[in-house]
């Protein structure tokens, strides 16, 4: 094989052969191809795309670059969920124990936040002692003990993706549906789950705000999952407004526990229960997942999981020493609360990162004291900004310019679950 021929094939709009794909993935993973040559191929894929069968082979080659977990010893059906990321999206913290309480084991491979979108691992790391980096043996143990585990990808699962993602991140080749889909699905298939539900966000706070592109990504990932023997469906869900009221790591843990205790914001519960129903349906289990919030079984599973991963579920979470309200400039109805603006403000307050290595604050974030549809009065606090130092407030306030829409009439209600694919 000649890497120049591989690059030219895709540059000129051709289909890479199965042999070319497998050779390239293996060679780049094992450092036999230079980064600049791999970057050239990635850019060619961004411009030329990939055929479905070509993408299947590409994903399989990434999957085959590492180990694939075998969860058969758990003795239960298994299901997972993946979200494309949003603002205030703490669904995983509620969903994993909820589904586990219904008798389906949940091995949830999760990630960290970058930019305006939050990361599940950053949220849980606000809990003293909790660990995301688990060995394969620890993943099996926590899953057998608690019925659910939320963990970071180690070096053994799809190592090709780790190398390619790092390269995409610095070469302007992230925004490609084939590359996004293969990155997500190679890791999710490698974790060995029987079923997978994809939560593909749509709206201002989503990675792909455009509904047509979000649908294309969902359809591509569903096809990849099913082609690799994982029962896969997707829900397109709304991310025009932050989900729930809390955006920020420790704040979102607190809100998640509130939901597990039978309370919590209605929009967050609606999306979580819809995803739980989809997971249980794929796993062949017919029970009401919402009942686990009222009978305490989901909360019990959450506490087991946190303890099994070294955390203290009763520990006091960090509290931001500095707080500042953002008030309504006029009276009327809150018509809009832009999710992306809230996410950027949360990031600037210290809860997010620009680079993967950046530290994040456990206590920083934004509390949404009102949501679209609420009647508000001039001077009423609509948001509460939380930070570790007051110097962060001005930049956060700049991000919020134009984010709050107040009008004389309430907005038309927006559906939270827009579409099912699969």
Question: Domains in the chain and their CATH numbers?
Answer: 3-49 (1.20.970.10), 72-154+173-308 (3.40.1030.10), 322-407 (3.90.1170.30)
Dihedral pair phi/psi, residue 236, rounded to 5°: -85, 125
| pLDDT in the model for residue 353 | 83
Q: By C-alpha distance, which of 60, 39, 94 is closest to 181?
A: 60
Q: Give the C-alpha separation, 216 to 25, whole Å.
A: 24
Residues 45-92: pLDDT tens digits? 999 999 999 999 999 999 999 999 999 999 999 999 999 999 999 999
Query: Quick check: helix, strand or coil at residue 337?
Result: strand
Angle between helices 52-63 and 18-29 (to 10 degrees): 30
Looking at residue 245, its pLDDT comes to 98
The answer to whether the Cα torsion of 386, 388, 391, 395 is positive or negative is negative
**What was the pLDDT predicted at 134?**
96
Q: What percent of the chain has pLDDT over 90?
A: 93
- From the list 86, 215, 74, the residue with the least C-alpha distance to 149 is 74
pLDDT score at 401: 96
Band the pLDDT of 171: cuts 50, 70, 90: very high
pLDDT of 227-246, one tens digit each? 999 999 999 999 999 999 99
- Tell how far CA 233 is from the center of its chain: 16
Q: How confident is the model at residue 354 (pLDDT cuts 50, 70, 90)?
A: confident
Helix axes 159-169, 52-63, angle to 10 degrees: 110
Check residue 356 and give its pLDDT: 73
Separation between Cα atoms, residue 214 and residue 204, nearest integer Å: 12
pTM beyond 0.85: the answer is: yes
Residue 153 has pLDDT above 90, yes or no: no
Pairing of the two strands 322-327 and 246-247 = unpaired
Grade residue 290 by pLDDT with cuts at 50, 70 and 90.
Answer: very high
pLDDT at 113: 83
Confidence of residue 115 (pLDDT cuts 50, 70, 90): confident
Please determine, for residue 262, whether its predicted confidence score (pLDDT) is greater than 80: yes
For the cut 80, the answer to whether the pLDDT of residue 94 exceeds it is yes
Q: Once rounded to an integer, what is the mean pLDDT over residues 265-292?
A: 98
Categorize the per-residue pLDDT at 173 as very low, low, confident or very high, splitting at 50, 70 and 90. Answer: very high
Rounded CA-CA distance 104/148 in Å is 9
Nearest to 160, CA basis, from 57, 303, 293: 57
Catalytic residue positions? 80-83, 120, 168, 183, 187-188
pLDDT at 355: 75
Predicted pLDDT at 408: 97
Q: Mean pLDDT across the stretch 99-106?
A: 98
What does the pLDDT look like over 309-350, one tens digit per residue?
Answer: 999 999 999 999 999 999 999 999 999 999 999 999 999 999
Confidence of residue 116 (pLDDT cuts 50, 70, 90): confident
Residues 6+ apart with CB under 8 A from 101: 147, 289, 292, 297, 298, 300, 301
Mean pLDDT of the chain: 96
CB 9: neighbour CB atoms within 10 A?
17
Task: Give me the pLDDT at residue 326, please.
Answer: 98
Q: Residue 238 and residue 236: Cα distance in Å, rounded?
A: 7
Q: Provide the pLDDT confidence category of residue 154 given band limits of 50, 70 and 90.
A: confident
């Amino acid at each position: 094989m000649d890497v120049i021929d591989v690059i030219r094939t895709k540059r000129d709009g051709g289909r890479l052969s199965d042999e070319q794909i497998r050779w390239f993935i293996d060679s780049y993973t094992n450092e036999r191809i230079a980064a600049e040559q791999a970057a050239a191929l990635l850019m060619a894929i961004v411009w030329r795309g990939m055929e479905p069968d070509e993408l299947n082979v590409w994903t399989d080659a990434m999957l085959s670059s590492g180990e694939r977990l075998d969860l058969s010893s758990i003795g239960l059906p298994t299901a997972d969920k993946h979200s494309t990321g949003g603002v205030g999206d703490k669904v995983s913290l509620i969903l994993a124990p909820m589904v586990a309480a219904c008798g389906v084991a949940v091995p949830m491979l999760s990630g960290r936040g970058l930019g305006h979108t939050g990361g599940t691992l950053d949220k849980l790391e606000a809990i003293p002692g909790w660990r995301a980096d688990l060995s394969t043996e620890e993943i099996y143990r926590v899953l057998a003990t608690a019925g659910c585990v939320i963990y970071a990808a180690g070096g053994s699962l799809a190592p090709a993706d780790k190398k390619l993602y790092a390269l995409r991140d610095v070469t302007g080749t992230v925004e490609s549906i084939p590359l996004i889909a293969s990155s997500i699905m190679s890791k999710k298939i490698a974790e060995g789950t029987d079923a997978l539900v994809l939560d593909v966000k749509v709206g201002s706070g989503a990675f792909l705000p455009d509904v047509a592109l979000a649908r294309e990504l969902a359809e591509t990932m569903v096809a990849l999952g099913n082609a690799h023997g994982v029962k896969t469906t997707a829900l397109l869900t709304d991310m025009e407004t932050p989900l729930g009221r809390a955006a920020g790591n420790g704040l979102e843990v607190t809100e998640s526990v509130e939901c597990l205790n039978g309370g919590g914001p209605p929009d967050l519960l609606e999306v979580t229960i819809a995803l739980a129903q989809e997971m249980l349906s794929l796993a062949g289990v017919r029970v009401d997942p919402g009942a686990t919030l009222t009978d305490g079984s989901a909360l019990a599973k959450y506490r087991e999981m946190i303890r099994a991963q070294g955390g203290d579920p009763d520990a006091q979470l960090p509290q931001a020493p500095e707080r500042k309200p953002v008030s309504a400039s006029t009276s009327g109805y809150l018509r809009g609360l832009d999710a992306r603006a809230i996410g950027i403000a949360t990031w600037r307050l210290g809860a997010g990162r620009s680079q993967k290595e950046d530290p994040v604050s456990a206590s920083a974030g934004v509390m949404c004291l009102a949501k679209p549809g609420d009647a508000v009065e001039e001077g009423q606090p609509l948001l509460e900004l939380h930070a570790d130092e007051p110097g962060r407030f001005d930049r956060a306030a700049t991000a919020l310019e134009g984010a709050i829409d107040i009008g004389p009439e309430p907005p038309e209600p927006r559906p939270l679950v827009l579409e099912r694919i699969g």
